[in-house]
Copies of this chain bind each other. A is one copy, B any other.
Amino acid sequence: MSIVGAIEAGGTKFVCSVGDDNLTLIDQVSIPTGTPDDTMPAVVDFFKPYLADLKSIGIGSFGPIDIQENSPTYGHFTNTPKVAWQEFDFVGYVKTHLNDIPVAWTTDVNAAAYGEMTQIEGDSLVYFTIGTGLGGGAIQRGQFVGGINHAEMGHILVRKHPEDDYEGYCIFHGDCLEGLACGPAIEGRTGIKGQDLPEDHQVWDFVAYYLAQAAMISDLTLAPSRIVLGGGVMKQEHLIGKIHSEFERLMKDYRPTPPLEDYIVTPALGDNAATIGCLAMAKELTKG
């Protein structure tokens, strides 16, 4: 029996999984994100019982992280706001404690994009996660987009809605895409969590306007087969329709796109996109 592993490393929890060759989950555990000393021993302990059959592990991590293969700090966190994790050698730790197992390593949102790729015919996809933060990653011709660095599409400046006077939540940029459309930015304007706001609250018009711009930038830059919007904020089911309307209004029939209900969508894999993506990345490694 041959199995593959997944680590979805998020800001609040690490979800560790093992799956079979069909990417079907066999076992999974959720570990709260503490310091590396708290969290990492529990991560490797989860995988140890499977080590005899475990071929490889895919990791999708919060960031920023170093994914440049020729870099001396490949596999490390860089200047992440989570101070305890700054410069921590994530890939090195996993390999050291798990018999030098092959590791595939990318951002959490890239991993989710990779997961959603298993659900489409095409070879290109953009994935945004809109939750506590807002991140974006992309795939073209089956490979992650990114030259000297990984994508950080959450920090793009979007055009401000004329009635939105919120100063924004991003500690770097204030009112960038993340600063205007992430969960805390919704609560920051209203004092109420998104899930408790009525569907006709104006903040949803603002969020739809900003996410439609993110989709428009994705289309005009990468023209992917699919644009996936995931994360906690997208659990508001009324939101995707509002985003479709705004996208159409902004694009003004400039060029044809696929039908929007197939083109700009919520994740086919739901909350499992990143875990399935990590398993798929791990499986891809074993082909080499």
Chain A interface (Cβ within 8 Å of chain B)? 64, 78-79, 122-124, 136, 138, 140-141, 143, 145-153, 155-160, 172-173, 213, 216-217, 219-225, 250, 252-255, 258
Contacts and interface: CB of A to CB of B under 8 A. Distances in A.
13 contacts: A79-B255, A124-B147, A124-B148, A146-B223, A147-B225, A149-B219, A149-B223, A156-B216, A157-B158, A157-B216, A157-B250, A158-B159, A172-B254
B222 A147 contact: yes
A173 B254 contact: yes
A181 to B, nearest CB: 14
A204 to B, nearest CB: 19
Contacts of A148: 122, 124, 223-225, 258
B213 A157 contact: yes
Contacts of A155: 220, 254
Contact of A159 (B160, B224, B255): B160
A151 B216 contact: no
A252 B176 CA distance: 11
Given A172-B252, A217-B217, A223-B151, A145 B140 contact: yes
Given A141-B143, A255-B152, A221 B225 contact: no
A221 B135 CA distance: 11
Given A158-B157, A213-B157, A217-B221, A147 B123 contact: yes
